[in-house]
Amino acid sequence: MSFFNEIAQDYDAWYKTKIGSFADEVETRLAFDLFVPAQGMRVLDVGCGTGNFSIKLAQKRCKVTGIDISEKMLDIARKKAKMAGFNIEFKKMDVYNLDFPSESFDAVFSMAAFEFIKEPQKAFNEMYRVLVPGGQLLIGTIHKDSAWGRLYTNQAKSPDSIFRFADFKTLKELEDLDREHLVKSGECLFIPPDASMDKISREEEQRLSRLERGGFICALWRKEL
């Protein structure tokens, strides 16, 4: 989608805000609580965008390949990875037609991209195909059934919003992609998008986790041996 090329230059700006930085922190913690990478693991980062999680995976000594449909996003990812000193391969590719042989990766990882997947089962099946037996597949996405999901659903009504391309999922819908091989799932980002700056803290996140639905969800599957 050309719109992703148009916003590529400003995509990382949100992560420099207090709420954006906090969201990235709690989403990263949840992802790596569920998925524990090992040194030398071959990981495919689907919908890698500007390389945020590709770099985090490389920091954990994984051999990372990142794919995205936006060439401008990928250009930024390449520059960021080079500046960070990591040799990450980035390719323009469609998740519905992965140009890799079956059983090519030890893990497939996708964070903050699945909200833009219109055919989630088709995408999931293709991601699962390239996994080795015993491999792990982790997907993290905006939670439709949350304050954040409602905010972005409302923003999607605007013709200028990136979320007009979105298809938000509930936790059940994410888990239902493959109940048989589901290992575990979780929620985070319980702090709402309209929280005051003084309420953005780990303590408040913990308190609200007992009262609210998380704005971000992750699920982990393991391919049968």
Strand bridging mode 182-188 / 42-46:
unpaired
DSSP code of 188? E
User: Mean pLDDT throughout 191-196?
Assistant: 96
User: Mean pLDDT throughout 195-208?
Assistant: 96
At residue 3 the predicted structure's pLDDT band, cuts being 50, 70 and 90, is: low
What's residue 161's pLDDT? 85
From first CA to last CA, the distance across the chain in angstroms is: 36
What's residue 77's pLDDT? 96
Tens of pLDDT, residues 164-174: 889 999 999 99
Of the candidates 103, 169, 100, the residue with the CA atom closest to the CA atom of residue 137: 103
What's residue 121's pLDDT? 98
Q: Report d(CA 112, CA 175) in Å as an integer.
A: 16
Tens of pLDDT, residues 133-158: 999 999 999 999 999 999 999 999 99
User: Mean pLDDT throughout 36-53?
Assistant: 96
What's residue 206's pLDDT? 97
Q: Report d(CA 1, CA 198) in Å as an integer.
A: 37
Tens of pLDDT, residues 61-112: 999 999 999 999 999 999 999 999 999 999 999 999 999 999 999 999 999 9
DSSP 108-172: EEEES-GGG-SSHHHHHHHHHHTEEEEEEEEEEEEBSSSHHHHHHHHHTTSTT-GGGG---B-HH
> In what side-by-side order are the strands of the sheet with 89-92?
89-92, 63-68, 42-46, 105-111, 131-142, 216-222, 182-188
What's residue 100's pLDDT? 98
What's residue 6's pLDDT? 61
Of residues 3 and 225, more confidence is placed in 225
